[in-house]
A and B are shown apart, each in its own frame.
Chain A
Amino acid sequence: MRVERTSRSRATSPVIAAVIMSAVVLAIGSVIWAFSQGAMTITAEDYAEAVVNMTDTICERFIIEHVSYDDVNYILRIWVFNYGDINIEVNVTYPDNSVGWIEVSSKHLEEISFGFDPGSEIEVGIKVESRRENDVYYRYFVP
């Protein structure tokens, strides 16, 4: 008799405990699941974006194709040829100054001209850098 009563009275609480334990596990698991899914999605997107940016960086190809100087109007002309597959933005830097960002489409030649007085200098170092931090140099001898 005592054994039966004990067993019957103890039967309810283990079931409730199992249900509660399962509910807690499910709840915590769902939170972790949701969090990890969000975190993983963001991580994957960030990684993919970083790789795409890096890919664009290594795919940039451009040259300073030609430079000329108009010594009447004091204008320096620079032709930048983007022979890569992606559009680029470039900035021309010459001694103590820069021109500003200019877009050069893929497979296009862009003329960039600006006022320039070489003074007594006969040799000008020109640097063209892209937004993705690639750069090319050109040494121009002013006629």
Chain B
Amino acid sequence: MCIIGTSCRRGTSTVFGVMIFVGIMFTAVIPMLLVMNQADILYERRKFEVGRLDEESKYEDLNVYVFNHSGSSESLTLRVENWGDFSVNINRVWVNDTYYLLDDFYVSPKNLLEEELTGFTPVPNTNYTIKVTTDRGNVFFEDSGSIYCDEDGHWKTGMFAIVFYISTPGRGWFDIEIKDYNDTILTDPPFSVHKSGVTGTAIDFFSVPSAGTYHVKITNPNAVVIYENDVTISWPYGPRIESVRV
């Protein structure tokens, strides 16, 4: 008879015990694991999003130019060239310690945008440092450093130059000849760069009067022409300083 048997009495409570255990599993442990898992998913998603934002921010690549067309106007033109792979939204432009908000200043990849900077009165004999801030938290300074307002209220920009990096084997004086578009030799007296070691790189620059195309010829110490080409400084559509590497 089952009633008499000891094992049957244990069986009833075992069934209850199993039911309670299963109940605890389904009403407490599993929901807790689900909540934890959901939180982990949220964390991973946000981590991925900020990682992507950081990645996009890292690859923002802008050239910022500020120039004045007329030379005497109080307005400046801001040009932003986006060489990166993502659209860039410029939030603010700083002119020394004052900032101006820009609305809808989105620059598409491999594109440029211009904006007149008005609303400020330049103080004569003052240097102006200009920079822009993107909504991804990058700050880009104007490529030429600063722009100067002289005592007559005219804007002066920095110098134009060609920088030479000579790393071709050989040591001694490398003669450089630079002609402008009229075939006028600018390197008079002659301009030479000295490279002291067979390896390594010699660096020097030559200041040119304005933006434009210049014909550059480099001769090595053995009087062999190692470089002859046109170099164009396309300011304000490009940097003030171009480089030649041989």
Contact = CB atoms under 8 A, between A and B. Distances in A.
Interface of A: 7, 10-11, 14-15, 17-18, 21-22, 24-26, 29-30, 32-33, 36-37, 39-41, 43-45, 47-48, 51-52, 54-55, 58-59, 61-63, 65-66, 68, 77, 79, 81, 83-84, 107, 109
Given A18-B9, A36-B24, A55-B46, A25 B17 contact: yes
B39 interface: yes
Nearest to A47: B36
Contact of A44 (B8, B24, B32, B133): B32
Interface of B: 1, 3-4, 8-10, 12-13, 16-17, 19-20, 23-24, 27-29, 31-32, 35-36, 38-40, 42-43, 46-47, 50, 53, 92, 94, 96-97, 99, 133, 135-137, 139
Contact of B9 (A14, A47, A84, A109): A14
Contacts, number: 109
Nearest to B5: A14
Contacts of B46: 55, 58-59
Instruction: Tell me the interface secondary structure of chain B in the complex.
Output: helix
A42 to B, nearest CB: 9
A131 to B, nearest CB: 18
Contact of A40 (B23, B32, B137): B32
A135 B222 CA distance: 57
Contacts of A83: 135-137
Given A7-B4, A44-B31, A51-B43, A61 B92 contact: no
B13 A51 contact: no
Contacts of A51: 39-40, 42-43
A59 B48 CA distance: 10
Contacts of B39: 47-48, 51-52
A14 B31 CA distance: 39
Given A54-B43, A66-B99, 4 more contacts: A14-B3, A25-B17, A55-B46, A68-B96
